[in-house]
Amino acid sequence: MTIELFSQLLLNGLSIGLIYVLVASGLILLLGVVRIFNFAHGEFYMLGAFITFGCCEFLHLNFFVSIAIAIVLVTILSLFCYRFIFHYIRGDILLCTAASIGLSMMLLRGALLSFGTQERGLHPPFKGSVGIGQVNLPAEKVMAILLCIGVMFGLYWLLMRTKVGKAMRAVKLDNEVASLQGINTTRIYQIAFAAGCALAALAGGIMAPVFSITPSMGHSLLLNCFMALVVGGMQSMLGGVVGGLVVGLVLSFGMYFVGDLSEILLFAVIGVIIVFKPGGLFGEPEHHE
C-alpha cells in the first residue's frame, strides 16, 4: 500500500469519523448529563442538513449563516421536545428509548412526506480540492474536518473552562449533590439537551455539501454513531472521539479493501472489542451492580 493511498483512506476515514464524533458527543452529553437516550438524534442531524440546504439553495444565504440558522431552529425544536416529552421521563432508559423512537418515526415520516425521497445535493461553498501532501481531498471534506475539530475543541473548552460546563459535569457526576450545591439542575438539563441536539444539527449542516441529503440520512448515521458509542463507551467525551474515529477509519479502509462487507468488518471489530471491554474502550467496566 502506498503512502498516498494510506493517507487518502486515512483522511477519508477522518472526515467520516469526525462527524460520528460530533453526533456521538451530543448523544453522550444527553446520556451523561440529562440521562436521556435519544433515538431521534439522527433526525435532528437530518433537519440540520435540510435547513442548511434550504437556506443556501432557496434563500441564497451564505453557507455558514445557513448552518447557524439550522442550529437555531433545531435547538428551538429540541427544547420544545424536551419540555413536552423528555422532561417527564428523564432517567428512565426504556421510556426514553420508546419516546424518542416515537419522535424519530414522526420526524422521519414527516420529512419523507414533506421533502420526498429524492436525493438532494448542496453545492459546496468552496470549489475544487485541496492538496495535503500528495493527497487530494475535496474542499468540502477538508472544511468538514477542520470544522469538526474546531467544534470539538470548542466543546472541550465549554465543558472544562466555563461555569456552565462545570455545572454540567457536576450534574453528570451526581445530580443530587449538584442541586445541593445550588446548581439549577432543570436549567442545566435544558441547556445540555439543547447543546446535544445543536451538535447534531451542526454536524448535519457541515455534512450537507459532502453527502447527499435525504430524509433517512439521519437514521443510517445514527446506527453508525451507536456503533461508535459501543466502541468508545458512553461515559466520556474521549470515548465518543475514539469511538467515532475508529468507526470512520474502519469503514473507510474497509470500503476500499472489502467493499460491501465493510459493515461486517465493523461488526467484527466491535465484537472483538466488547469481548474484552463490554462497556466500550473507555466505558464502565462490567455490569457491576
Residues that bind another protein (CB under 8 A): 31, 35, 37, 85, 88-95, 97-99, 101-106, 108-110, 113, 223, 226-227, 229-230, 233-234, 261, 263-264, 267, 270-271, 274-275, 278-280, 283-284, 286-289
- Give me the least distance between CB of 53 and another protein, in Å please: 23
- Give me the least distance between CB of 30 and another protein, in Å please: 11
Cβ closer to another protein: 43 or 140? 43
How many Cα atoms are found within 13 Å in the side-chain-facing hemisphere of 26? 31
Query: Quick check: 205 and 67 in contact, CB under 8 A?
Result: yes
- Give me the least distance between CB of 112 and another protein, in Å please: 9
Which residues lie closer than 8 Å to 273 by C-beta, 6 or more apart? 230, 231, 280, 281
State the amino acid at position 44 in one-letter form. F
- Give me the least distance between CB of 107 and another protein, in Å please: 8
- Give me the least distance between CB of 178 and another protein, in Å please: 15
Cβ closer to another protein: 99 or 194? 99
3-state secondary structure of 51: helix
The partner residues of 120 in beta bridges, in order of sequence, read 213
Q: Tell how many helices (H) and how many strands (E) occur in the chain.
A: 12, 2
The partner residues of 129 in beta bridges, in order of sequence, read 138
Which residues lie closer than 8 Å to 85 by C-beta, 6 or more apart? 99, 103
Cβ closer to another protein: 188 or 210? 188
Cβ closer to another protein: 226 or 253? 226
- Give me the least distance between CB of 176 and another protein, in Å please: 11
- Give me the least distance between CB of 94 and another protein, in Å please: 5
- Give me the least distance between CB of 230 and another protein, in Å please: 5
Cβ closer to another protein: 4 or 284? 284
3-state secondary structure of 109: helix
Cβ closer to another protein: 90 or 141? 90
Q: How far is CA 26 from the centre of its chain?
A: 6
Q: What are phi and psi of 40, to 5 degrees?
A: -85, 5
Cβ closer to another protein: 91 or 150? 91
Indicate the Cα dihedral angle 225, 230, 232, 236, nearest 10°. Answer: 90
Query: Quick check: 28 and 237 in contact, CB under 8 A?
Result: yes
Nine-digit cell at 160? 472544562
DSSP annotation of 259 reads G
Cβ closer to another protein: 119 or 174? 174
Task: Return the beta strands (E) in the chain as ranges.
Answer: 129-132, 135-138
3-state secondary structure of 138: strand
